[in-house]
Amino acid sequence: MKTLDIILLLCRVASIVFGLIAACYWFKASTAKVTDEDKRYDPGIELSYEDPDNKGHEIQVVATAMKQSRLNKIAAIHTALAVLFQAAASIIPSE
């Protein structure tokens, strides 16, 4: 196996791995909720509503949006890396 073939394989594998990581982060972002029991998030003024799935806790709307935004940012970075490795793999000549 030539060196370029190994690099091509590594680029393809890296593209798949980063794509799967991005998908996981986007799934986490779509299901993320911040409740009143989570004290890490304190945006100041907060809107909230009672969570029908988690009785006794309120969903913090602004903190949830902040958490989802952070997770989406991480997913976008991993997607960019996946595209970068896929572009590199398409440039490398293969036999």
Q: What are phi and psi of 55, to 5 degrees?
A: -60, 135
Distance CA 15, CA 21 (A): 10
pLDDT of 14: 96
Residue pair 79/73 in contact (Cβ under 8 Å)? The answer is: no
Instruction: Identify the top-confidence range among 2-6, 54-58, 82-86.
Output: 82-86
Among 3-7, 38-42, 73-77, the least confident range: 38-42
Helix (H, G, I), strand (E, B) or coil at 14: helix
Per-residue pLDDT reduced to its tens digit, 7-44: 999 999 999 999 999 999 999 999 988 876 666 656 56
Mean pLDDT of 49-63: 74
Domains of the chain, residue spans: 3-91
pLDDT of 45: 63
**Distance of CA 36 to CAs 10, 28, 44, 67, Å?**
44, 19, 13, 14
pLDDT of 92: 85
Within its chain, how far is the Cα of 47 from the centroid?
Answer: 25
Residue pair 20/91 in contact (Cβ under 8 Å)? The answer is: no
Distance CA 31, CA 50 (A): 16
